[in-house]
Chains A and B, each alone.
Chain A
Amino acid sequence: MSKSVYYHGGTLVLRDVDAGERPPAPFKLIRERWRCEGYHYGSIQPYLQEQDVRDAVPRWQPLNLHLQEMREPHDYQVEALAAWDQAERRGSIVLPTGAGKTFVAIQAISRVNRSTVVVAPTIDLLHQWYARLVNAFAAGVGVYYSGEKKVLPLTVTTYHSAGDLMAEYGNAFKLVIFDEVHHLPAPNWGEAALMAPAPLRLGLTATYPEAHEQTPGRWRVDDLVGPIVYTKRIEDLVGQQLAHYRTQRLRIDLTQEERARYDADYALYTGFVHSRHLQRHHGPAWLLELMRLSAIDPQARRALLARQRLLQLLASCEGKFTALEALLREYASERVLIFTEHNTVVYDIARRHLVPAITHETNAAERKHILDGFQTGHYRVIVTSKVLNEGIDVPEAKIAIVLGGTSGAREYIQRLGRVLRKVENRQAALFEVIARKTIEESKSQRRRRQEAGSAYG
């Protein structure tokens, strides 16, 4: 009988190799079969050849894509790709945020020209990759995540869904690209990398995890993706990608009726939290404790409901819509991005002002259509919930309006950095609309203090 190796759900399995034989180390005898994780595929090649083991693993195929992008790569991008080639196309490229990592990846896909899967941290980034790849190659691109599952030779997925994709189609891809590769050590995030047999791998990040940061996980990024092949620091790129902008806070008042509701709910909610000393006894976990209590204690339940009403009120209080309208009228000729965390508010605004909305409900194609339309001027305004937070390219936007400030400082700063990419030399502006004398003010204050120490000060 002839020996062979096949792919099964993230593992490589030897067929017709007896328990008595000794295949190389990664193989383990499990339930009478020799089996190892998919990522050893490259390293077992010598064994397969020596022992004349038929290789039934690869199902990848040529892409035959033609790069549409005419943009010339920067010198450092050329260097990075050369270094990756040198390392036999395994390893990570470390570039600062905004230095064109996606562009590097597109070049890499074009060079390899075999079926490729890109793994992105969030659905939003997946959508961004989708749009970039469609534009770069003018070809169909698959997406695989909770909302849509369509697998093509060039497919984008999320870390969350990548495991399922690998279990089913792992051997259909010769190249895997890990966007924000520093996520890999996280307990569930590395599994897909472990399962994939793809011999070619590219990691992209601005912040490669330190050795000690890799230990909490069960695997090291170097083992799964290869070593760092190229690094460029932010200092080396000064002047190329920095943006200038100003921020402005607009404080609005609640109406009398809103104020009365707010005060009542605030008293109910904080009254309970204080009376039970939740913050003192539970520290940062006090909110979790409130939620736990709310399933037992009617008072806690009322406090939690009061909190929910209060947040809802702040999200949709009249003053914010009035302020928004004023800003939209003022910047009538500018491209404007509106952020709010609440989905229903997004759709209210979309309906009220007839502007396109992007939320987690928006599928990849429509999302791309809206962002493209924004760029060409078909649309002047986009309203979106928190989905455009991280790493979304909207280079045309010069005005950003944030309604309500309930998100964390880090997220907020990332929003800023993203919206305000340098286009020509025009100054960008970010408006934050918050309700006076509410919990929003204190949150906004806290954030300001944290920002003071950041690069964006």
Chain B
Amino acid sequence: MLTADLVRPRLHLRGSELSIDMLEERDPCWLQSAKDLIDLLQEQAGQSQTAWDRALESYVGERVDYVVVRGLAKILTDAATFTPLATPLPPIQLRERLFHYGPVFTSPQLFHPQTRYEVMKSVADELSISSEQVETTLFADRPATYLLSDAGPQWTPAGLLARYNLELARGVLYWASHITIEVASNYKDLWKFIKLFKLMFWAEPKQGGGYRIDLDGPISPFVSSTLRYGRQLAAFLPALLLCERWQMHAYVRPPQAKGETIYRLDHTCALRSHFKSSGTFDSRLEADFANEFEQKMGGKRGHWRLTRESEVLLLGDTVMVPDFVLVDTKDENRRILLELVGFWHPNYLRRKVEKVHAANCAHLLLLVYKGLNVTEEAFQDAASQVIFFQQKPVLKEVMETVEEMAERIYGPRTKPERRSKRRRTPKHSRSGDDPAADDQIPL
């Protein structure tokens, strides 16, 4: 994370609009600096943190763009690992013993008959180690003396510049009181990260799909200018970059501005996330189900299209992103949600069942692994349909149930155009703020 002194000089204010002076990622000068720094760090392998700081200082020299150079170096340093030197005894024990003799001097004197050399020697002898070992052990627990043991990921110069730009944007969010985002697609990761960073959200479905989401924290309504959640908002930013189409407004109070400023960002920006989006499938079970569906029911073989996690159920205080959505290709309004409840920890299941109860959602079909200690009764009150399975869900059975459900909810499919468009997205906006609220992902 870049510190304020490395971010602040890169900001521009025009009225209440805040912008960042980002680096051109193809600029040969910056690429060269990035390369120099990456090489410099590599050369420091096995050297102390202090040595790296000095090498950096001399590399920066009289350059006026030192704010950028230090910023690039900060990113490298944060990703690198410095480890303490192995010592024959804990440094703190040595200090306790040695400092009892202080103050000592190089030459003897009436009150201090023992010189520094003699004290070091006698303590070394008592411990059966050398005087040199005493010297190196003395402050070996200070981070300044830690040795560079791992220079971190394999940076490319362009990759480092890209990361620097991302960190600048995150740096701005440090001073954010709240942000609003609009996203149109693939939000699964978004909910996951909102939970992960303990943010509060308030989501409203948008006309034409997608959501408008306000992000802040519990105290925000009472202390509107609070910067309490800036750190979490900054940490969250890479998650937003995982979405395909989005825009963000951040309400920011950087130190150089009098009041609130706005920082805008959208999917056209060049920033790239270093977070991993969740793979196509969370589990083997899901992958197998999707494959089987493609083989037997995919393409022209049926009238259902299976899509991944494109719908979000806002349930009370939390969200649920069902694994699959089955969309009737003849009438896109006919949708059945599929959730596979596989091999999970009992606590996860308990929360899952609670969620399903809360959902009270008629177009949700649950496929539950029989071997789990979830009783069938647990799902009885749920409005949702439940199918239990032993090894894997039986596709035929699943699709029969899907047809039944669709017919019950949307009516016979022969005359779909007469059906009124029913809302399946929740009528009310919901927020996620209960501390007990659960996440889709067991953390």
Contacts and interface: CB of A to CB of B under 8 A. Distances in A.
Interface stretch (B108-116, B235-243, B403-411): B108-116
Nearest to B10: A295
Interface in B278-318: none
Interface stretch (B12-20, B98-106, B354-362): B98-106
Given A351-B139, A354-B101, A366 B92 contact: yes
B64 interface: yes
A11 B218 contact: yes
A307 interface: no
B435 interface: yes
Contact of A191 (B63, B228, B435): B228
B64 A380 contact: no
Nearest to A9: B218
Contact of A298 (B9, B64, B198): B64
Contacts of A380: 102-103
Contacts of A195: 219
A301 B66 contact: yes
B64 A295 contact: yes
B143 A361 contact: yes
Contacts of A187: 225
Interface string B81-100: 00000000000100110111
B433 A8 contact: yes
Nearest to A347: B139
Nearest to A329: B109
Contacts of B222: 11, 36-37, 194
Nearest to A300: B64
Contact of B102 (A30, A32, A353): A353
- Output the residue of B92, B95, B218 with the most chain A CB within 10 A: B218
Contacts of A297: 64
Interface residues of A, number: 55
Contacts of A44: none
Contact of A378 (B100, B109, B139): B100
Interface in A282-332: 292, 294-298, 300-302, 305, 325, 328-329, 332
Interface in B198-226: 198, 200, 202, 217-219, 221-223, 225-226
B434 interface: yes
Given A31-B431, A298-B62, A328 B103 contact: yes
A295 B219 contact: no
A230 interface: no
B228 A379 contact: no
Contacts of A48: none
Q: DSSP class of A's interface residues: helix, strand, loop or mixed? A: mixed
A32 B431 CA distance: 9
Interface string B55-92: 00000001111110000000000000000000000001
A9 B111 CA distance: 59
Contacts of B96: 369, 373
- Output the residue of B9, B98, B103 with the most chain A CB within 10 A: B103
Interface in A108-124: none
Given A295-B67, A296-B64, A10 B105 contact: no
Contact of A218 (B67, B95, B223): B223
Contacts of A379: 99-100, 102
B51 interface: no
Given A294-B64, A328-B103, A347 B142 contact: yes
Contacts of B233: none
Nearest to A190: B223
B215 to A, nearest CB: 12
B31 interface: no
A187 B219 CA distance: 14
Nearest to A351: B138
A356 interface: yes
B219 A329 contact: no
A333 interface: yes
Interface string A182-193: 000001100100
B434 A8 contact: yes
B430 to A, nearest CB: 8
Contacts of A333: 111
Q: Give the bracket for the number of chain B residues in contact with chain A.
A: 35 or more
A28 interface: yes
Given A8-B433, A379-B99, A354 B111 contact: no
Interface in B119-140: 119-120, 135, 138-139
B227 interface: yes
Contacts of B221: 28, 30, 35
B101 A33 contact: no
A333 B103 CA distance: 10
A27 B435 CA distance: 19
A355 interface: yes
Nearest to B116: A354
Contacts of A378: 100
A163 interface: yes
A167 interface: yes
Interface in A371-424: 373, 378-381
Contact of B219 (A194, A292, A294, A302): A194
Contacts of B135: 351
Interface in B2-33: 9
Given A8-B433, A8-B435, A37 B102 contact: no
A147 to B, nearest CB: 11
A35 B62 contact: no
A297 B63 CA distance: 10
B99 A37 contact: no
Interface string B343-363: 000000000000000000000
A35 B217 CA distance: 12
Interface in A341-361: 347, 350-356, 361
Nearest to B231: A164
Nearest to B95: A356
Contacts of A35: 218, 221
Given A332-B111, A347-B139, A9 B219 contact: yes
Contact of B202 (A31, A296, A300, A301): A31
Contacts of B225: 187
A191 B102 CA distance: 45
A36 to B, nearest CB: 8
Contacts of A37: 219, 222
B317 to A, nearest CB: 9
B33 to A, nearest CB: 15
Nearest to B200: A9
Interface of B: 9, 62-67, 92, 95-96, 98-105, 109, 111-112, 116, 119-120, 135, 138-139, 142-143, 198, 200, 202, 217-219, 221-223, 225-228, 428-429, 431, 433-435
List the 6 shortest-distance A-B pairs measured between CB atoms, nearest first: A9-B218, A332-B111, A355-B102, A354-B102, A353-B103, A10-B219
27 contacts: A6-B435, A10-B218, A13-B218, A30-B221, A31-B431, A37-B222, A191-B226, A195-B219, A218-B223, A294-B64, A295-B64, A305-B62, A332-B111, A351-B135, A352-B116, A353-B103, A354-B98, A354-B102, A354-B116, A354-B119, A354-B120, A355-B103, A356-B99, A356-B102, A379-B99, A379-B102, A380-B103
Interface of A: 6, 8-11, 13, 28, 30-33, 35-37, 163-164, 167, 187-188, 191, 194-195, 218, 292, 294-298, 300-302, 305, 325, 328-329, 332-333, 336, 347, 350-356, 361, 366, 369, 373, 378-381
Given A9-B219, A350-B139, A354-B119, 7 more contacts: A8-B218, A31-B433, A191-B226, A194-B222, A329-B111, A332-B112, A361-B143
